[in-house]
Chains A and B, each alone.
Chain A
Amino acid sequence: MTTLALSAPRFTGFAQLRQDAPLFTTLGIAMALSLLPTLAALQLDDRLFLGESIWVKPIKFQIALTIYLLTLAFYARWLPLAMRQARLFRIYCGIVAAAIIAEVLWISGAAALGTASHFNDSSPVWAALYGFMGGAAVTLTSAALVSGIAIWRNRASGPPDALRLAVALGLVLTFVLTVPVAYYMSANTGHFVGTPADWDRGLPLMGWSRSVGDLRVAHFLATHALHGIPLAGLIAVLILPVQAARRAVLLASAGYAALVTATFVQALAGQPFL
């Protein structure tokens, strides 16, 4: 057989992403372009929600979902070709895409109307929407789980050994860590544990509380397992022999899960992240 040259995955532009995951690539680009009107609205709108512009949250979700979609499209090159072409898988991708679109429409629609999206129980309709969107959130996150398992099982056309482990674990852990953290957060009345102090404007960019516990820290880290662990795997593969690289990936994954758990426990104890 051919010798598998150990090469770092190379970014070959949108053409390859589109070929490997046409729907997620198109939706990812559309999601990025949809920032144009919301960024403009951010400039024009003086309404505040929890002390920051009402448009900050939709914009955060648009950015996060753009990154998520393009990341899934990037990893799609390591899914078995037969799976990518299977009708059932394409239907599944369509359902995930619909869940992502619904999520963004719900969050930016609530912003436009000047009301809350998450934790909104002001009317039966908003409460029902919030419940429904929980299902949509799990659905869209399940794409990471499905990709992770498929890439792990794909010895034929997946990435080299330790990197395959890292990509698969990163994707699977994204689902496994995000869902319980997000579920716990949604079952409460808000993402803060405690009442933020008056001076607390939150961490720059992320907006995490600096005076009380903020469950969004663990949620953020959990959703980015699919970046952090593969990145650790890539470094391990480049500098370590195969067996050591595998161990390093397992260690990094355990460390990452511990980090998410620690930030979760920290927030539950009412302690700010920084």
Chain B
Amino acid sequence: MPTDSLFQSANTLALIGWIVLALSPLSPRWSDRISGLAIPLVLSAGYTALILAFWSRAPGGFDSLPNVMQLFTFPEIALAGWVHYLAFDLLIGAWIARMARAEGIHHLLVLPLLALTFLFGPAGYLAFTLLRASRNLRAPLMTEPRT
């Protein structure tokens, strides 16, 4: 299986998504469609295909840390795990861009948060939520942009 080339393709695709998010003020609607829908969908289809094809052959499982580590010794499943990060981190990045736009948070402030989410997903989400809370304590209770 060409796991290396799939890994490269997935990375490239995700990177394009993050660049589009970084440039999202140019076209909020299209950056949402590309980075918040199309690219995560393609990555999710690839993830699902990897799971369908390789899950039953992989060692380990979800039930203990050694088992999870075992699971990731199987290349195709490690790749699937990586694609999972890429897809969901990008979805969160797109959500951050959307929420920040709706709440008038300046894009220059959003850029480092996107970078943090790109590198260390949950840390970026945490930082964004802390930023929202520091502007308005009740803001994090709103989980979708006000319409």
CB contacts under 8 Å to A, within B38-69, are 45-46, 48-57
Interface residue SS majority, chain A? helix
* Nearest neighbor of A112 in chain B, beta-carbon distance: B52
Q: Are B56 and A41 in contact (CB under 8 A)?
A: no
* Cα A45 to Cα B1 with chains together (Å): 8
Q: How far is the CB of A136 from chain B (nearest CB, A)?
A: 21
Q: Are B49 and A108 in contact (CB under 8 A)?
A: no
Q: How far is the CB of B22 from chain A (nearest CB, A)?
A: 29
Return the contact of B49 from the options A40, A111, A113, A114 (Cβ within 8 A): A40
* Nearest neighbor of B48 in chain A, beta-carbon distance: A37
Return the contact of A36 from the options B45, B54, B76 (Cβ within 8 A): B45
- Asked if A123 is at the interface of the complex by the 8 Å CB criterion, the answer is no
- Asked if A198 is at the interface of the complex by the 8 Å CB criterion, the answer is no
Q: How far is the CB of B38 from chain A (nearest CB, A)?
A: 13
- Chain A residues with CB below 8 A from B76, complex form: 44
Q: Are A37 and B52 in contact (CB under 8 A)?
A: yes
Return the contact of A38 from the options B1, B46, B52, B55 (Cβ within 8 A): B52
Residues in chain A within 8 A of chain B (CB atoms): 36-38, 40-41, 43-47, 55, 108, 111-114
Which 5 residue pairs of A and B lie closest in terms of their CB atoms, listed nearest first?
A: A40-B49, A45-B53, A37-B48, A41-B52, A41-B49
6 contacts between A and B (CB under 8 A): A37-B49, A44-B49, A44-B50, A44-B76, A112-B51, A112-B53
